[in-house]
Amino acid sequence: MKVGFIGLGTMGASMAANLAKAEGVELVVHDMRREAAEALVEGGARWAETVRELGAACSVVFTSLPGPREVEAVGAELIDTMAKDGVIVDISTNAVSAVRALHAAAAERGLHVLDAPISGGPRGAKTRKLAFFVGGDKAIFDRVRPLLDAMGDRAILVGAIGAGSIAKLAHNLSGYALNVIMAEVFAMGAKAGLEPLGLFAAIRQGVHGRRRTYDGVTEQFLVNTYDPPAFQLRLAHKDVSLACALGREVGVPMRMAALTLEEMTEALNRGWGQRDSRSAMLLELERSGVEIAVDRAALQAVIEADGAEPPAKT
């Protein structure tokens, strides 16, 4: 099978190198910089001078590009040149609207599109420790699954086209938001007189440090159950109030913490003080007009699917 890979940056070059090792794969590569492909070509990959040349030669093409504009431009050339029933797999972090537009345009020419953005970083790209968040038709996902498995260890079909990009954007947003609040946490602790390494060593032993990042939403939020509480909102509000007060005492700006306290105060004023601390999360669902109530058994099945231990209690 002739498989194309376009975009040989830090992530793309490593992924393409692993893809080249897959059984039955004849790899064709292209990048704006010819030198980015040198190691791959020396290893046996074929260089394509243009996107159109690559598209005409391959039945499956992976695109790893900077953003929506580049994916749109490259996608248009692939649609013009790939043979019917070909598959374009966009592994870029892309706009949902751009992915869906590419999918619609490709369908008119008898082609298929999956959005499959990745998570794992440069090290994961080298070691095949990558997650693919995939959106699209299951039959097409199953067709290219061996190629995804050649580059990563977790390929997850999230839903219809665009679902992979939604999952990736949600994943990245949560990570960067946590970075901002962690900066506040460590700045406050250090300025209050605690040595940063000591703070790190201490808090990573607490409940939030011991569990997986997203497991904090499994017990109350996702299943929409806030009574009886694991930890009461009124007590959590007191804790965050004290942390914000400490920040003021030592002169550390606490913007994210102040927003957190504002949300918790609104929830407290709703009369939810005796409910679980996460009941404040209901405010955002109310504003958004979104209802979330996941079946507990189905949620547990997801947790157990990868052999994870049950989430730690707050």
Residues annotated as catalytic (active site), given as ranges: 168
Angle (CA) 226-231-232 rounded to 5° is: 75
CA distance 255 to 104: 42
